[in-house]
Amino acid sequence: MTADEPTFPPGCAYVRGRYVPMKEATLSVLDWGFLRSDATYDVAHCIDGLFFRLDAHLDRFYRSAEKLRLAIPVDKARCAEIMRECVRRGGVQEAGYVECLITRGVSPTFSRDPRDAVPTFMVFAIPLGFILPRERWEEGLSIHISRIHRIPPESVDPTAKNYHWHDLVQGLYEAYDAGAENVVLTDPAGAVCEGPGFNVFLVKDGRIATPDRGVLEGVSRDTAIRLARDLQIPVEARAIPTDEFRAADEAFITSTAGGIMPIGRIDGRPVGPETRGGAPGPITRRLRDLYWEKHADPAWTTPV
């Protein structure tokens, strides 16, 4: 393989009104989405031919676009149909990662006025990858808590899913240098925020908590909160100091890229009681099992 012949995952994309293989899913170098990270997106997954909480993802996608003053050129029903078609044509019904995105686009004159640009809308479906693969669920994720601050919510609205990832990617390199595999960023007050594409939770004395500020309000985060409430486990969204996070009985992450996944180690130390050796605790296990049971519930799924 040479730089001129990159390989692409299998799948299918919808670009400029056509369904194309992933290697043809390209963007102009002049697109504001590329040159300015001026874009928003959403990702849903489908498993065994069913989308999970598709409406929640579509609602967030359209809300995010509105916040950024981007007009999505199709309505939600049409967007869902394009997502379905990408999954079918891409052959990823069994486990698909389905992303819709809209960028500010390209202006014919390369004007500096964002209002002159014509937005770019794309959808693609590729095989779903898990942040922590199933075969490692007993071990859990090894997390580094970074001193890098997540971009403050006063600068970039974290509730509109975005590609402002310098902080997250630099955090990943910091984690690799520290011998960990993934990272959680913090805020100036020393509270934990989120990691690259996932939210975080802790369990302490039978109570669950997740950060309420400086984070994307993940659909999987919302699912975990609802499932906890169904189980009558107290759950609150509030500031979580890093010391409290390190001292948790259990900790887990949530993401469309893998659902509810346990954290086994924080900064090299096993999470929870020494005797458990970092293996997932009982509440994490129950929530994770329920999460996957819900993937067969007609109330939360939509057929591809």
Q: Could you list the beta-strand ranges (E) of the chain.
A: 12-15, 18-20, 39-47, 50-52, 95-106, 118-127, 141-149, 182-186, 194-195, 198-204, 207-210, 235-237, 250-255, 259-266, 269-270, 301-303
Which tokens in the block code for residue 248? 């948790």
Query: Taking CB under 6 A as the rule, does residue 186 contact ligand PLP?
Result: no
Q: How far apart are CA 54 and CA 45, in angstroms?
A: 8
Q: What is the DSSP string of 163-199?
A: ---HHHHHHHHHHHHTT-SEEEEE-TTSBB-EETTEE
> CB of 13 within 8 A of CB of 26?
no
Pick one of 64, 142, 146, 255: the residue that binds ligand PLP (CB under 6 A).
255
Give least dist CB 153 to ligand PLP, A. 12
Nearer to ligand PLP, 53 or 265 (CB): 53
**86 token code pair:** 């990408």
Among 128, 145, 208, 219, binds ligand PLP (CB under 6 A): 219
- Does residue number 51 form part of the binding site for ligand PLP (CB under 6 A)? no
Locate tokens 């409406």: which residue? 55
CB nearer to ligand PLP: give 19 or 201.
201
Binder of ligand PLP out of 52, 61, 198, 252 (CB under 6 A): 198
- Residue 265 within binding range of ligand PLP, rule CB under 6 A: no
The residue range among 87-95, 170-178, 180-188, 252-260 that interacts with ligand PLP, by the rule CB under 6 A, is 252-260
Contact status: 194 vs ligand PLP (CB under 6 A): yes
Which listed residue (148, 202, 216, 287) binds ligand PLP by CB under 6 A? 216
Binding site for ligand PLP (CB under 6 A): 43, 161, 194, 197-199, 216, 218-221, 254-256
